[in-house]
Structure 1
Amino acid sequence: MTLIYDAAPSAAPTLSPKFRVFTTRHLDELLARAGLTPDQRLTARAVATVLPFRTNNYVVDELIDWHAAPDDPIYRLIFPQEDMLPSEDVAHLADLLRRQAPTGEVAAAATAVRRRLNPHPAGQLQLNVPTFAGDELPGVQHKYDETALFFPRQGQTCHAYCTYCFRWAQFVGEPDLKMAAEDVGRLKEYLLAHPGITGVLFTGGDPMIMRASVLSRHIEPLLDLEQLESIRIGTKSLAYWPYKFLTDPDADDMLRLFEKVVRSGRNLAFMAHFTHPRELASPAVGEAVRRIRDTGAIIRTQAPLIRSINDDAVLWESMWRQQTRMGMIPYYMFVERDTGPQDYFAVPLARAQQIFRDAYRNVSGLARTVRGPSMSATPGKVCVDGVVELSGEKVFALHLIQCRDSSLVNQPFFAKYDPEAIWLDDLEPAFADRFPFEDLTSANGSP
């Protein structure tokens, strides 16, 4: 069979920039470009000692509207903001930076703040990391019966970091907070011992930060396993560096790898994160989507609902419509998780459900594959279906899309209505003494 990726992209952009990364070393210069005063830049840099910052020239040059910064949504998606952390913590860190305190003192203060931010929500380290043959499997998670998550060590960064990212702890240089696997061998052994696992999700970080040859070394050994029905790759690369699939030196090799997975009889699900319609607008994104789809891979789209960035039904409707036109499948609207700067980004569940409903009712059935708003909490993925009145009481109607106890999947349950609730642990059961999953684990979304 002749592979279809021997030629250059048919509609490749005329300008194919070389990837250039910007980190905290460049932060002050970029903040000045947004018109921030020296004091404002100092407080933003203080936040960046705790929360990771990384971006690239595509995001800076093509996605951010610098005339609208610092209020531009893509700018807010990338750059640290003063009120992402408690004011007393920001003031203390800013004072350390102002008086040029020793690096170790600044690092210790930043670490203390991080530890109060619930760096691993939903028991990611305590509850999800499996043991096998008496040993823990670092870099592997097994929360749901049929799916294993794999965190390859080489994929533990991204083309750019989102300020809302619930996996921010992967990027701050603290080894005990990082989930990373050295190789795929132990994962393969674990899968063979657990034949009920039918899908593997490669995540991170972003697996698409890896070269094709490296990703291939992780994926190809799994194609020998008859039990596997699907391989998923979670990534923001289409939004932040579409040239990965167009003009990067290994672009064609990466697409050949995708094609090989599909030809093996597996569903290759490319889980693309798009947070704002602007991320879909570039011709480079459209061409990258076409090339990925031509391999036989299915692109599914997902993103969290983020206050000040995309908390608008019109934006979600626009995204779902455009994604459908491009041949992608809208998949999830998530609720911002209970970690990091949650208070800065969170949208109350009642408003989140209304935004979802208003956007959902204005798109065609082809886009109504999307689910949400969904909380990835300790018991599982909890979907807020609506607000209803039952027996004279206003309540949230919810169900579990996924659950540690699979017998509870798709079972409806109710919670007392609370217009201020932003997470599962803010809710109280309605018409019952406890939620159906509380025999399994705490209702708290934190470990």
Structure 2
Amino acid sequence: MSLTHDVAVPPSAGRRFRAYTAKHLDELTARAGLAPDERLAVRAVASVLPFRVNAYVIDELIDWDSAPDDPIYRLTFPQPDMLPHEDVARIADLLRGDAPRKEVDRVANEIRARLNPHPAGQMLLNIPKLGAEEPMSGVQHKYHETVLFFPKQGQTCHAYCTYCFRWAQFVGEPDLKMATDDIDRLVAYLHRHPEVTSVLLTGGDPMIMGEGVISRYIEPLLAVPTLESIRIGTKSLAYWPQRFLTDPDADDTLRLFERVVDAGKNLAFMAHFSHPNEMAPALVQEAVRRIRDTGAVIRTQAPLIRTINDDSAIWADMWRTHVRHGMVPYYMFVERDTGPQDYFAVPLAQAYPIFRDAYAEVSGLARTVRGPSMSATPGKVCVDGVAEIAGEKVFVLHFIQARDPELVGRPFFAKYDEKAVWLSDLEPALGATRFPFQEGPAGAGATAARE
């Protein structure tokens, strides 16, 4: 990588990071043209679900002339109807009456508890501590060959997505957070479990950490001979590309990426892009180039989100743009069964044709993408299509990944349901009484990780 190459970005790109939080919401939503009652409702939603943006998102990504309908605005700003009306009204009444913060938090926590803060049995995936019985929070042996690691200092983001299924990480409730700084125990675990070939650093966003911190987590992994890949799940390219351009440790971070590649590991930069507009700024394109120059592979993924990207033309445009800049389209996800799912979810019967039509519009280089995929309790379930078999209309599905490796790649069928948005909404088809993942010793909720 040529770190001496001039970074072709405007001088304004070098400004320091500035975050905007809930205390700025009234001012910002007024800029979007919202009336006072609408702004109060937005503040009420933000009392339950997290809100955070930054100056780059505000100044470079959002088209304020189109707000509140602009897709990036909707991607980052709470909407008044994201939660049930009665819940929003209850919080709004407290805010209108200047209720004590403790009372607002108490009611907000009641509402959060009903939003399934840890979908797919996330807390049950924590692996046991070595030599002890209690779980090690912040490390999940999710699949046979894959471990997820939640670094303690990476449990926030440059900005929050309104649809984020990890919203519980950001609301300040310790009981809802998954995190650890014990990299030594993870390394010891990996030595004991050579079947694990891939570690995913996730959160939050690991790239919120400075190079001096993130290297303390990554460097020890380079000495694990059975580890083939290190993945970093991040939205930083979309929300703060300066992280790889003009931040004080940008060059040091890229040198760290080089060391991973030089150690013989695949560095998979798992970039979240939810809309083509996030790729428009020259800053992003230059950051992509610099990351790719280290030898890292950038793979792109996003959920299908109602009112933001539920259009096949948007996805085809996005995938073509990613390929043009040397990135690899990876996943279209279905919105997960947590938080404001009722607001953002697209029914599977609509999700599949959106994926299919977009897939049909791109070249083979973009057809590396899989979807629409549900990251459900037993694994990643892909909707392959709709068919009629023996006179019955069915969804055709298969496991891309599974807690029970025997399920991977096995097709199965569910009754067609035009309203179903998640695996739990589906019923077995063709006379079956149970799905394959509900059979055998693993069952629907079993984990693949066992000490």
Corresponding residue SS for 2:123:
coil
1:10 and 1:171 map into 2 onto residues whose CA distance is 33
Given that 1:435 and 1:443 are in contact with CA atoms closer than 8 Å, whether structure 2 keeps it comes out as: no
1:391 and 1:95 map into 2 onto residues whose CA distance is 55
Match of residue 14 from structure 1: 11
Match of residue 137 from structure 1: 136
Distance apart, 1:14 and its partner CA? 3.4
Given that 2:127 and 2:141 are in contact with CA atoms closer than 8 Å, whether structure 1 keeps it comes out as: yes
Given that 2:42 and 2:80 are in contact with CA atoms closer than 8 Å, whether structure 1 keeps it comes out as: yes
2:101 and 2:12 map into 1 onto residues whose CA distance is 40
Give the one of 99, 102, 109 matched to 2:100.
102
Cα gap change, 1:265 to 1:216, in 2 (>3 Å): same
Corresponding residue SS for 2:16:
coil
Distance apart, 1:426 and its partner CA? 0.5
1:261 and 1:127 map into 2 onto residues whose CA distance is 27
Match of residue 434 from structure 2: 434
Corresponding residue SS for 2:437:
coil
Corresponding residue SS for 2:397:
strand
1:131 and 1:392 map into 2 onto residues whose CA distance is 52
Asked if 1:197 is matched to 2:199, the reply is: no
Asked if 1:73 is matched to 2:75, the reply is: no
2:317 is aligned with what amino acid? Answer: S
2:166 and 2:70 map into 1 onto residues whose CA distance is 23
2:117 is aligned with what amino acid? Answer: P
How large is the RMSD of aligned CA atoms in angstroms? 1.2
Given that 1:77 and 1:163 are in contact with CA atoms closer than 8 Å, whether structure 2 keeps it comes out as: yes
1:336 is aligned with what amino acid? Answer: E
Cα gap change, 1:433 to 1:406, in 2 (>3 Å): same
Match of residue 231 from structure 2: 232
1:202 and 1:392 map into 2 onto residues whose CA distance is 46
1:289 and 1:441 map into 2 onto residues whose CA distance is 41
Structure 1: runs of 5+ lacking an equivalent: none
Match of residue 449 from structure 2: none
Given that 2:121 and 2:445 are in contact with CA atoms closer than 8 Å, whether structure 1 keeps it comes out as: no
Match of residue 124 from structure 2: 126
Given that 1:9 and 1:246 are in contact with CA atoms closer than 8 Å, whether structure 2 keeps it comes out as: no
Distance apart, 1:127 and its partner CA? 3.6
Corresponding residue SS for 2:289:
helix
1:362 and 1:270 map into 2 onto residues whose CA distance is 25
Cα gap change, 1:297 to 1:380, in 2 (>3 Å): same
Match of residue 222 from structure 1: 221
Distance apart, 1:8 and its partner CA? 5.2
Corresponding residue SS for 1:239:
helix
Out of 184-193 and 152-161, give the one that drifted further.
184-193
Q: How does 1:254-403 map to 2 (within 5 A)?
A: 254-403=253-402
1:277 and 1:130 map into 2 onto residues whose CA distance is 41
Q: How does 1:34-53 map to 2 (within 5 A)?
A: 34-53=32-51
Corresponding residue SS for 1:351:
helix
Given that 2:150 and 2:180 are in contact with CA atoms closer than 8 Å, whether structure 1 keeps it comes out as: yes
2:65 is aligned with what amino acid? Answer: H
Out of 125-134 and 148-157, give the one that drifted further.
125-134
Corresponding residue SS for 1:108:
helix
Given that 2:211 and 2:252 are in contact with CA atoms closer than 8 Å, whether structure 1 keeps it comes out as: yes
1:247 and 1:237 map into 2 onto residues whose CA distance is 13
1:370 and 1:128 map into 2 onto residues whose CA distance is 29
1:168 and 1:254 map into 2 onto residues whose CA distance is 27
1:136 is aligned with what amino acid? Answer: P
Corresponding residue SS for 1:139:
strand
Distance apart, 1:9 and its partner CA? 3.7
Given that 1:79 and 1:163 are in contact with CA atoms closer than 8 Å, whether structure 2 keeps it comes out as: yes
Measured against aligned partners, the alpha-carbon deviations of 1:339-397 in whole angstroms (never above 9, x if no partner) come to 00000000000110000000001100000000000000000000000001111111000
1:84 and 1:225 map into 2 onto residues whose CA distance is 44
Asked if 1:87 is matched to 2:85, the reply is: yes
Compute the TM-score of the two structures, normalised by the length of structure 2. Answer: 0.96
Match of residue 161 from structure 1: 160
Corresponding residue SS for 1:84:
coil
Cα gap change, 1:362 to 1:260, in 2 (>3 Å): same
Distance apart, 1:441 and its partner CA? 3.0
Given that 2:377 and 2:444 are in contact with CA atoms closer than 8 Å, whether structure 1 keeps it comes out as: yes
1:87 is aligned with what amino acid? Answer: H
Report the count of equivalent residues.
Answer: 441
1:130 and 1:72 map into 2 onto residues whose CA distance is 45
Given that 2:7 and 2:245 are in contact with CA atoms closer than 8 Å, whether structure 1 keeps it comes out as: no
2:245 is aligned with what amino acid? Answer: L
Match of residue 4 from structure 1: 2
2:403 and 2:105 map into 1 onto residues whose CA distance is 37
Structure 2: runs of 5+ lacking an equivalent: 447-451
Given that 1:378 and 1:441 are in contact with CA atoms closer than 8 Å, whether structure 2 keeps it comes out as: no
